[in-house]
């Protein structure tokens, strides 16, 4: 009996701990797969809103989504031919992204940016900055970086690098998961 009572206590504590862990399921995890301006804008508008409502937010950038996190200034990195081509062909940074529809050789994108400024909606670079200030966690997918030949120093400051397990762990603790 003397042996079992502490065990029983331990079990109760474990149950409580489990319960409290279960209650920590909250907030939002997003996969940002797309590098289209409209989709990345939507992702950051949601992220800023959620962070302002005190929800923990994690954004996981993979494939074309990585382009939103690239520095706008060129960074010297030694690359193979295919990686260099990918890097050269893909938009470098949030300010270079274009609309998924009605881009019209850049005219539609310029119109969208102009109307957003007129309506006092933050530009994408400002939304990213604001998200970082509000504590939104930005994670760049390590496998995508490897495949696309993007080096850590080519990304903006404050970006974490993580793998699929990082995403899954975050998704599993979040109330909502979105793929943009």
Contacts to a second copy by CB under 8 A: 22-23, 25-26, 28-29, 31, 33, 35, 38-39, 42, 45-46, 49-50, 53, 55, 62-64, 82-83, 85-86, 89-90, 101-102, 111-112, 114-116, 119, 121, 143, 146-149, 163-165, 167-168, 171-172, 174-180
Structure tokens at 147: 């495949």
Q: Residue 6 Cβ, how far from a second copy at the closest point, in Å?
A: 26
Q: Residue 157 Cβ, how far from a second copy at the closest point, in Å?
A: 26
Residue linked to tokens 């809103």: 49
Q: Residue 63 Cβ, how far from a second copy at the closest point, in Å?
A: 5
Q: Residue 97 Cβ, how far from a second copy at the closest point, in Å?
A: 12
Q: Residue 156 Cβ, how far from a second copy at the closest point, in Å?
A: 21
- CA nearest to 37, candidates 87, 95, 80, 86: 95
CB contact at 8 A, 66 and 145: yes
Q: Residue 164 Cβ, how far from a second copy at the closest point, in Å?
A: 4
Residue placing its CB nearer to a second copy in the complex, 8 or 165: 165
DSSP 80-124: -HHHHHHHHHS--SGGG---SS--GGGHHHHHHHHHHHHTTPPPH
- CA nearest to 138, candidates 161, 159, 119: 159
Beta-carbon contacts of 70 under 8 Å, excluding residues fewer than 6 positions away, are 90, 91, 92, 93, 150, 154, 155, 156
Number of H helices, E strands in the chain: 7, 5
């Amino acid at each position: 009996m003397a042996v079992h009572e502490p065990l029983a206590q331990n079990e109760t504590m474990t149950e409580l701990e489990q319960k409290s862990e279960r209650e920590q399921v909250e907030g939002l995890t997003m996969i940002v797969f797309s590098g289209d301006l409209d989709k990345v804008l939507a992702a950051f508008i949601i992220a800023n809103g959620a962070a302002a409502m005190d929800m923990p937010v994690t954004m996981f950038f993979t494939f074309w989504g990585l382009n939103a996190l690239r520095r706008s200034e060129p960074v010297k990195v030694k690359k193979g031919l295919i990686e260099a081509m990918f890097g050269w062909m893909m938009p470098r940074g949030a300010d270079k992204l274009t609309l998924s529809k009605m881009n019209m050789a850049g005219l539609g994108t310029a119109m969208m940016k102009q109307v957003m400024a007129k309506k006092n909606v933050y530009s994408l670079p400002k939304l990213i900055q604001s998200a970082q200030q509000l504590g939104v966690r930005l994670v760049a997918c390590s496998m995508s970086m490897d495949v696309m030949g993007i080096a850590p120093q080519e990304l903006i400051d404050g970006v974490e690098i993580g793998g699929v397990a990082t995403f899954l762990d975050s998704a599993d603790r979040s109330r909502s998961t979105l793929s943009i």
